[in-house]
Amino acid sequence: MKFWFNPTLSWQALLLLPLTALVLLISQGKRLRRSTRPYTRPVLVVGNLTVGGTGKTPMIIWLAELCQRHGIRVAVVSRGYGAKPDRAFPFQITEQISAKHCGDEPKMLAQRLNIPVVVDPQRHRAVNFVLAHHSVDLIISDDGLQHYAMHRDLEILMLDGLRGLGNGCLLPAGPLRETAGRLKSVDFIVVKQHPLALPMPYELARLTAAIPLNSQGKALVQGPVKICSGIGNFNSFQRSVVDLGYEVIETLSFADHQLISPEALANNQWPIIITEKDAIKLDLTRYPHIYVLTIAFDFDTEFERRVLASLREQIHAKSHHHTGTL
């Protein structure tokens, strides 16, 4: 909803404001039922306070690759949003399981990172599945900041630097899933790309984008392009394309996680740029005129050091005090 991200309250937000009391009650109820029984391995949640794209997926990729570089065995659990599973939950993503059946973001993570990625809307069951089937040092939860049935040892809260907290209201009057007070209880706050006025410290994630490639590995030369995507923050995608020097002639935005229609992908006079999240749902060998934009996060070495120290501290504590799974 565009009015969510207006700095002042619109008439739509004022109209919906009474309903936020119900969201607040539900949120507080979930927190009261928060699990207090830790797992035998630490769980790190990467989640949102707001609705919409804040950079969870590139953050998880950065964390997983950091772990791999330092010999930390890691797995990911995910809700599998938008999935139409052909098997019972929980299940681990394999090469044979399509994005349609497991969700686009989990499939992308499994393919990109080559680590165990387990899907279940009840993430605590996914954690137990990982612990039963894999020897890992750390489990990263893709989203799940509000999934309080899952115990967590560390939390990273993601925010978009341009959108921030929007109008500051809870759903459905604004974009907040919980009150802004939640910012005070997480371990790290990461703001994507643009500085944000917050009353507490945060880390700024620098967004880097690679030259788009097609299925044959051919790089796209600068010039006019069409961009299509079904992601939570289309404007951020468009800015990345423009920053690389391309001239965006036409845009076509779909709902988050929605499959791009064949009509939108039909060849025309301009190359088409899509995101990795879109590409994972398509057979790109059929579309040599389609190019995929890959993005990544970059941080200061000091932040990397602090995150690594926190992970090692939690891993060390768990290795000396096995407390059992839920």
Count CB atoms within 10 A of the CB of residue 295. 17
pLDDT tens column, 268-295: 789 999 999 999 999 999 999 999 999 9
* pLDDT: which is higher, 218 or 1: 218
pLDDT at residue number 196: 94
pLDDT at 269: 87
Query: pLDDT digit string (tens) for 74-119?
Result: 999 999 998 999 999 999 999 999 999 999 999 999 999 999 999 9
The residue whose two tokens read 């599945």 is 129
Q: What is the pLDDT of residue 322?
A: 63
- Calculate helix-pair angle for 56-69, 301-320, nearest 10 degrees: 70
Instruction: Report whether pLDDT(325) > 60.
Output: no
Host H or E run for residue 45: strand 43-48
- Do 27 and 145 touch, CB atoms closer than 8 A? no
Q: Does pLDDT of 21 surpass 70?
A: yes
Residue 251 has pLDDT above 80, yes or no: yes
Task: Give me the residue spans of the domains in the chain.
Answer: 2-206+299-320, 211-293
**pTM for this prediction:** 0.94
Q: How far is CA 117 from the centre of its chain?
A: 14
Q: What is the rounded average pLDDT for all residues in the chain? A: 94
Least confident of 110-124, 192-206, 234-248, 260-274: 260-274
Q: Rounded to an integer, what is the distance from CA 155 to the centroid of its chain?
A: 13
Q: Distance (Å, rounded) from C-alpha 50 to C-alpha 168?
A: 10
Share of the chain above pLDDT 90, in %: 90
pLDDT tens, residue by residue, 153-182: 999 999 999 999 999 999 999 999 999 999
Say if residue 219's pLDDT is above 70: yes
Bond into 288 cis (ω within 30): no
Fold of 2-206+299-320: Rossmann fold (3.40.50)
Does residue 32 carry a pLDDT above 90? Answer: no
pLDDT at 326 (0 to 100): 44
Quick one: average pLDDT of 238-256?
A: 96
Q: Are 204 and 158 in contact, with CB atoms under 8 Å apart? A: no
| Nearest of 201, 142, 169 to residue 5 by alpha carbon | 169
pLDDT of res. 176: 97
> What confidence score (pLDDT) does residue 52 get?
84
Buried b (16+ CB within 10 A) or exposed e, 91-115: bbbeeebebebbbbbbbbbbebbeb
Tokens 């044979």, located at residue? 96
The mean per-residue pLDDT over the stretch 236-260 comes to: 95
The confidence score (pLDDT) of residue 130 equals 98
Cα separation, 318 vs 7, whole angstroms: 43
Q: In angstroms, rounded to a whole number, what is the distance separating the alpha carbons of residues 118 and 8?
A: 41
What counts of helices (H) and strands (E) characterise the chain? Answer: 10, 13
pLDDT of residue 11: 94
Strands 295-298 and 203-209: antiparallel
Instruction: Output the pLDDT for position 268.
Output: 75
Chain center to CA of 306: 21
C-alpha to C-alpha distance for 46 and 108, rounded to whole angstroms: 16
Tell me the C-alpha distance between 33 and 147, whole Å: 10
